[in-house]
Amino acid sequence: MAILGQIQRRSSVLIMIIALALFAFIIQGLIKNSSTIGKGNVNTIAEVDGQKISRNDFQKRVALVQKQSRNISNMQAMKSVWDQVIKEAVLNNQFDKLGIKVGQDRVRQLIVDNPSIKQAFTNKQGVFDENALSDYIDQIYKNKNSNPELYEQWKNFENSVLESEKEKIYMDLVKAAVNPTLKEGEWLYHYENDAVDFKYAAVPYSTIPDSLVKVTKDDILSYIKKHKDQYQTEENRSLEYVFIPLKPSAKDKQKVEEELKALINDKEVFDAKADDKKRIEQGFKNTADAEAFANKYSDVKQQARYFFKNQLPKEYADTLIKLNTGDVFGPYTLNDNVYLSKVIDAKQIPDSAKAAHILIAYKGAMRANPSIARSKEEAKKKADSILRVVKRNPAKFADYAKKLSDGPTKTKGGDLGWFTYGQMVPKFNDFVFNGKKGQVGLVETPFGFHIIKINDLTKPEKAVKLVSIIRKVEPSTETENETFAKAAQFANEALNTKDFNALAKEKGYEAKPVMKIGRYEDNLPGLGRNREIVRWLYKSDRAVGDVSKFDIENGHVIVYVTGMQEEGLMSPEEASPLVKPILLKEKKAKLIKEKFKGNTLEEMGKNANAKIGVAKGVTLKNPVIPGFGREPKVVAKAFVLQPKEVSKPIDGNRAVYVIETIKVNKAADIKNYLPYVEKLKKERQTGINQDVVKALKEKAEIEDNRAIIYQ
């Protein structure tokens, strides 16, 4: 029974520990499936180097990630789990090849050493009780049939510990293989400390206008074919869309205003209970209970409260603050809502006050300390007694508060500082703002009994107590139909256009682009989550120029397909933003090089109208030429040129250069290069885990069947 009691006490803690561990590894358990399902079968979500991953296991994990994470969509959870299962599969192949195994004793030790486990099984003496942990685990296994969920969570936790340890062993082996040598440490030392002085003649690429250099689609295609590895892309779709919002018309707003106007004054109505005799129904202006009246007709629950001028809407503040008790103002518009406001009261009151209090709480009072046992009657008696003492000597109020108050401000002598009208609970607020500076009194609130001292008040100013009827202006059926007709007409015209953007401008709309939408995206910039549009984009019969209209919550979206890119080499259009600047630079460099004629740097610079200068103390680590920025290719050349040797024109990042080395200043050798070895080691090992997994994924043969399941 004692063990079962421990399980009941600790289950919630352990479930939380297990859940956190699973989520941190995104449920690190390996997916093992010995199924012989054929290629492309819907029961296999993926196959990685022959290792099948079952659809059922995959979807369970997606569901669990969604359950553990708030505000994550099904597609986002799916992509997260996909990355993880592929990582697990490629790493598992490595574990098998290298014979990496972790024994149960090691797994047990890792669980015991887990800080959260230690905390959960620490006894009253503050000592970790391993026997209690063992008993807990035994009970989980014994009760696996009666509590399968807890058993499954524990098994997954153990698997996550096992797989994390395997990965650590594997990554440690990889890191051990990338240890730099002393010679490499020496190289890094000279890379950072050797310096060169050189003269240069530079002609910036910017001296040649882009209009003088033509880059064609064929140029781009030729370039990306020569550099295939750099310009690979995943399949994606691009579109332009026009959003036609569904919003209330001027007629809709006018209708609401007329309805509110009809509520202001009294009116005759027929009373069905009195044989349809006429009776007077009071309006908002004359009703005895304006707050109840407002709540009857308002879309937003109302409570009357005082407002100072600076708290009122700026555009109506001057008018509202001048109203008198009983006056009605409106209808007026604020934030797409229509208001009708009535002044219930108007008076001069301070807008801010400074006060201190001594709180005497009782058992059951709001936020009362659980250790407080006094009854409400006892608390009232104590508060009355303290009030008498304070009134005799108000100068010692802070001392009494520090000794007697149950409130969190007792350490400050009960000082609450400055607060605005309405900030405190009603009775507390009313006592302070209706009182005078120096006044001491007692009030009861849900927190207990307060002995209050008013320390200061701002100068009174006018405040109006307002209550409002607030109506949301919604689109009418007529407006909905008109908006739908506009969207349908535009979509129909877009079917026959070759320039969606131009058509949108002609009709007074704005066409917005969304580029490179992946097959499993569901969040589109400007449109939010909209899986329906993405599914439509990836239908097998989709083509550039296709148009469709989608009805969303607050309007209609007309979508026009502008691009369809399959997995593989980028299209010239997609690669253009990346490649065109490179080709422009290459063609400009060719034109500039033709100008560098002569035998000396000065002669060549003059003929090319170049800027001539000297760079001193430049290192390979920081290859900056003053006025031009980083130019590693140019600086590297300066290190290998013989003194007074003039280089051929060099294509730099910002300009074409001709250089002449003045002197190479080689740093003196040092006795110990180990600090540089350690520095290199740290640099190489930073991010190595991610780099290794990325390389393994690129090398693996992966069959992706998600498209069969996630339509």
Please give the pLDDT value at position 22: 40
Q: Which of 343, 348, 353 is nearest to 312 (CA)?
A: 343
Nearest to 170 by CA among 675, 676, 699, 692: 692
Q: Are 312 and 484 in contact (CB under 8 A)?
A: no
Assess whether pLDDT exceeds 60 at residue 574. yes
Over residues 470-527, the pLDDT tens digits come to 999 999 999 999 999 999 999 999 999 999 999 999 999 999 999 999 999 988 999 9
Q: Tell me, what's the pLDDT at 711?
A: 67
CA distance 310 to 352: 13
Residue 275's pLDDT band, with cuts at 50, 70 and 90, is low
Q: Is the pLDDT of residue 2 over 60?
A: no
Band (638; pLDDT cuts 50, 70, 90): very high
Query: Whole-angstrom Cα distance, residue 626 to residue 486?
Result: 59
Share of the chain above pLDDT 90, in %: 76
pLDDT tens profile 401-446: 999 999 999 999 999 999 999 899 999 999 999 999 999 999 999 9
**Cis upstream peptide for 313 (omega within 30°):** no
Whether 195-233+573-665 shares its CATH topology with 352-457 is answered yes
* pTM, 2 dp: 0.66
Residue 641 confidence (pLDDT) above 50:
yes
pLDDT score, position 33? 36
Least confident of 61-75, 102-116, 622-636: 61-75
Residue 617: pLDDT band with limits 50, 70, 90: very high
Q: Using 50, 70 and 90 to split pLDDT, how confident is the model at 636?
A: very high
pLDDT, tens only, 198-243: 999 999 999 999 999 999 999 999 999 999 999 999 999 999 999 9
pLDDT at 274: 60
Does position 97 have pLDDT exceeding 80, yes or no? yes
Q: Is 627 helix (H, G, I), strand (E, B) or coil?
A: coil
Mean pLDDT (the chain) is 90
The pair of three-digit structure tokens given for residue 255, joined into one six-digit string? 């209708």
Q: Count other Cβ atoms within 10 Å, centred on residue 91.
A: 21
Fold of the 352-457 domain: Chitinase A; domain 3 (3.10.50)
For residues 302 and 295, the answer to whether their CB atoms sit within 8 Å is yes
Distance, CA of 434 to CA of 424 (rounded, Å): 13
Tell me the C-alpha distance between 550 and 242, whole Å.
Answer: 10
pLDDT digits (tens, 9 = 90+) for 440-485: 999 999 999 999 999 999 999 999 999 999 999 999 999 999 999 9
pLDDT band at 21 (very low <50, low <70, confident <90, very high): very low
pLDDT for 276-335, tens place per residue?
Answer: 677 788 999 999 999 999 999 999 998 899 999 999 999 999 999 999 999 999 999 998
Q: How far is CA 534 from the centre of its chain?
A: 22
Beta bridge partners of 356: 415, 453
Q: Domain spans of the chain? A: 2-176, 195-233+573-665, 236-247+475-566, 251-349, 352-457
The arithmetic mean of pLDDT across residues 133-144, rounded, is 91
Q: Read off the tokens for 303.
A: 């409570």
Strand partners, 238: 563
CATH class of 195-233+573-665: alpha beta
Spatial separation of the C-alpha atoms in residues 217 and 571, rounded to whole Å: 10
Write out the H or E segment, with its range, that includes residue 297.
helix 290-297
In this predicted structure, what is the pLDDT of residue 10? 47
Q: Which of 3.40.50.300, 3.40.50.1470, 3.40.640.10, 3.10.50.40 is the CATH number of 236-247+475-566?
A: 3.10.50.40
Predicted pLDDT of residue 61 = 86
Beta bridge pairs of residue 271: 277
